[in-house]
Amino acid sequence: MTAARTGKICAIAGAVILALIAGVAILVKILVSPETVKRTVLPKISARIERQVTLGDVEVSIFRGIRLKSLEVREKDGSALFLQAGDVRLSYRFWPLLAGRVEVDEVLLEEPLVRVVRFPDGTFNYSDLLKKEPARSEEPREKSALHLDVSTARVSGGRVIFEDRGVPRGRGYSLEVTGIGLSARGISLEGEFPIQAGATLAGTTVDLKGTIARVKSAPTMTADLTVAAKDLGATAKGLPPAVGEKLVRLALSGGVEARLKLGGEVKQPKQLLQGGEVKLNSVALAAGGMRPLLEGTLLLGKDSLRSQGVTLTLGTQKLGVNLEAKNLLARPVKLALSLEGEKVDLDQLLPPTKAAAPAPGPASPREEPGPLALPLEGGGTMRIGTLLSHGLAVEGFTLGWRLQENVLTLESLKGNVAGGSFSDTARVDLGVKGFSYRTSLEVKGVQADKLVAALAPKAGNALAGSLTLKSELAGRGTKDLQRALAGSGSFDVANGRLSGEGFMPTLAAFLGVDELRVLRFSRLGGTFAVKNGVVSLDARGDGSDAKLAAAGKVGMDKSLDMGIELKLAPALTSRVARGGVARYVADRDGWGIVPLRATGMVGKPSFTLDTAKVGSRAVESLRQKIGERLIKPEGSGEQQGSGRKMLNDTLRGIFGN
């Protein structure tokens, strides 16, 4: 075939194609004119939704399809816009044009805006669209060449403005979702087709990519969902007040990125999560005067959660967090939580507490908390190498806890401190009003002066020595914890001393013996019982200069009512300022016995002689001295025994029993 002949054929083919394109273009202009669209499409839409629909220009092109400009749908009462779109592009299939049909298979909405309003009665501005059947017209329908068989839909640059007018007390708000994008291809009511979507809400971006199936009968989804919030503080400010205000008070900062796998029926959203992970990027919040910071990853299962490399930073101190939660979609949730760290200084973490100013007027009765019905069960541990608090260093601090059926149990609380150790167990029933609780504490070999200095700095070195203590306490109620507590215990202090700025100096001044400002003893021990805010104490002390026996009551308000029998060594007995008594209350070895009554407050006591006991002690001393003088060592044992009997009978007659 010659070149001339080939060129001629190509020219003819080109002319045919051009003629075909021109013919199709003319056919499109005839089938889909702006007037046809406005006359046939808009009335159908308006009748279906019972809203006014307006349209600007309509452009028709064989290559670019149909372009609808300035589409607007107004509210039912015509007062405001319900929906608007800058451009609506409709693409059609080529070959059906030759049969006189315009089959639109792709729709693109550019920068659409939807305005959603919730009214005070709980209805929405679109509620009527979900209830009404299509309006039926009795007039004959005009046959149209335009057919919608959409298989591809796209949205770009969309916005949704949500206005809530149904919030109580007039606290309505509006929320805007921007950057809405959507792409779906091969749309089928019963088949499966891919979908991709994205949006931005309050600084948080959401992206979804996956497939949807059986849209008409039972919609299902399989997709990957990504949620990224780079600034949680900004996100909190943009959320509805019911949620946002609570989050704003937490002063959130940092970011979160979640990658989730979804699958299942759309009508059961709680069942859609199949797995994923949540990355915590320096997430911090205000809590209890502290600002904890979390970093790491949370791994999600279908109904479980597990931490991976999560650290909790408190100031300059870090704790490793091991968290596992199961049964998240049911109740109770099963939780396991463990914390581990090398060193934690509570004094740096907890700000000093300030006494609250009393409220003016009579105080309203405070309601007891509880009962609680926690949808949670589990347990865990805490292990800290060195725990610092109030100047004390607790080495090897361990805590084991368990929560079951609303009962919190401290199975083990242990540590080494101040040269000794402590261990404690406790149980708190959260399922009763006011909560009920009990605890068992044991202290072994702890240096009491360090403990007192840490827990009661104002007491100074009031007590020193190696402390051993056991106690069992229980109670119910939190409004007046001191009165609610009841129990008992025992204590023992070895190789110690009693001193301080209140009790012992006042006693020394009362007796005129300066050495009693500091009382040293080899052993001080006894028992105590707690009830109704009062500690009943029974103690015995043994020292080289003094011995004591004390019994009485000490109130939780530091009130004091104590009987004390003080036994002083001979060197001190002769120096008691009240020496007139001393000669009657000294035993045969010269130790003076001084019965006292201590009242007032622990830090500022008042001492008086217990006159009743002074009298009985004086009688006994007089008996002893008379007997020693009247009964001579000479004579037989029988004679001495007879003499003592006669003397005792005579003294009983004089002084009584």
Mean per-residue pLDDT, 534-544? 92
Q: Give per-residue pLDDT as tens, 257-296.
A: 999 999 999 888 888 999 999 999 999 998 877 889 999 9
Q: Give per-residue pLDDT as tens, 421-433.
A: 999 999 999 999 9
SS3 label, residue 453: helix
* CA 176 to each of CA 111, 238, 331, 531: distance values in angstroms, whole numbers, following the listed order: 14, 9, 35, 61
pLDDT score for 365: 61
Q: Which of 365, 483, 532, 368 is nearest to 435 (CA)?
A: 368
CA distance 92 to 145: 12
504 sits in which H/E element: helix 503-511
| Max mean pLDDT range (103-107, 155-159, 223-227) | 223-227
Q: Which of 298, 296, 300 is nearest to 281 (CA)?
A: 296
CA 136 to chain centre: 58
Q: Which of 435, 348, 344, 464 is nearest to 394 (CA)?
A: 344
Mean per-residue pLDDT, 614-623? 55
Torsion, Cα 576 578 584 585, to 10 degrees, reads -50
**Bridge partner residues of 323 (DSSP):** 337
pLDDT score for 23: 42
CA distance 75 to 128: 11
pLDDT score for 360: 54
Tokens of 85: 């779109």
pLDDT score for 653: 45
245 sits in which H/E element: helix 241-249
Q: Give per-residue pLDDT as tens, 467-510.
A: 999 999 999 998 888 889 999 999 999 998 888 667 888 888 88
Q: Which of 218, 219, 209 is nearest to 184 (CA)?
A: 209
pLDDT score for 15: 45
Please indicate whether residue 415 or residue 68 has the higher confidence score (pLDDT). Answer: 415
Torsion, Cα 490 492 498 503, to 10 degrees, reads 10
Whether pLDDT at 535 is above 90: yes
| 614 band by pLDDT with thresholds 50, 70 and 90 | low
| 656 band by pLDDT with thresholds 50, 70 and 90 | very low
- Buried/exposed 626-640: b ≥16 CB within 10 Å, e otherwise: eeeeebeeeeeeeee
pLDDT score for 129: 78
Percent of the chain having pLDDT more than 90? 40
For the chain, the structural domain boundaries read: 418-609
* CA 229 to each of CA 118, 178, 254: distance values in angstroms, whole numbers, following the listed order: 27, 15, 9
Neighbours of 214 (CB within 10 A): 15
Whether pLDDT at 329 is above 80: yes
Tokens of 386: 């060195």
Please indicate whether residue 462 or residue 29 has the higher confidence score (pLDDT). Answer: 462
445 sits in which H/E element: strand 436-447
Q: How confident is the prediction for the chain on average, in pLDDT? A: 81
CA distance 561 to 581: 23
CA distance 7 to 426: 101
CA distance 203 to 131: 35
Helix/strand number for the chain, H first, E second:
14, 30
Whether pLDDT at 651 is above 50: no
Please indicate whether residue 172 or residue 396 has the higher confidence score (pLDDT). Answer: 396
pLDDT score for 610: 77
Neighbours of 559 (CB within 10 A): 14
Whether pLDDT at 553 is above 70: yes
pLDDT score for 274: 94
pLDDT score for 17: 42
Q: Give per-residue pLDDT as tens, 331-374.
A: 899 999 999 999 998 887 766 655 445 555 555 566 888 899 99
Mean per-residue pLDDT, 149-161? 86
Tokens of 283: 């997430």
| Max mean pLDDT range (125-134, 165-174, 413-422) | 413-422
Whether pLDDT at 168 is above 80: no
Mean per-residue pLDDT, 390-409? 94
**From 32-46, 353-367, 520-534, 619-633, the region with the lowest mean pLDDT:** 619-633
pLDDT score for 159: 93
| Max mean pLDDT range (142-151, 438-447, 509-518, 564-573) | 438-447
Q: Give per-residue pLDDT as tens, 54-80.
A: 888 877 776 667 788 888 888 888 888
Mean per-residue pLDDT, 583-612? 79
| 246 band by pLDDT with thresholds 50, 70 and 90 | confident
SS3 label, residue 343: strand
CA distance 188 to 213: 8
pLDDT score for 287: 80
Mean per-residue pLDDT, 24-44? 61
CA distance 515 to 546: 10
Neighbours of 304 (CB within 10 A): 16
pLDDT score for 24: 45
CA distance 539 to 534: 16
| Max mean pLDDT range (230-239, 391-400, 610-619) | 391-400
pLDDT score for 42: 74
**From 426-435, 551-560, 619-628, the region with the lowest mean pLDDT:** 619-628
| 630 band by pLDDT with thresholds 50, 70 and 90 | very low
Contact (Cβ atoms closer than 8 angstroms) between residue 220 and residue 265: yes
The answer to whether the bond into 219 is cis (omega within 30° of 0) is no
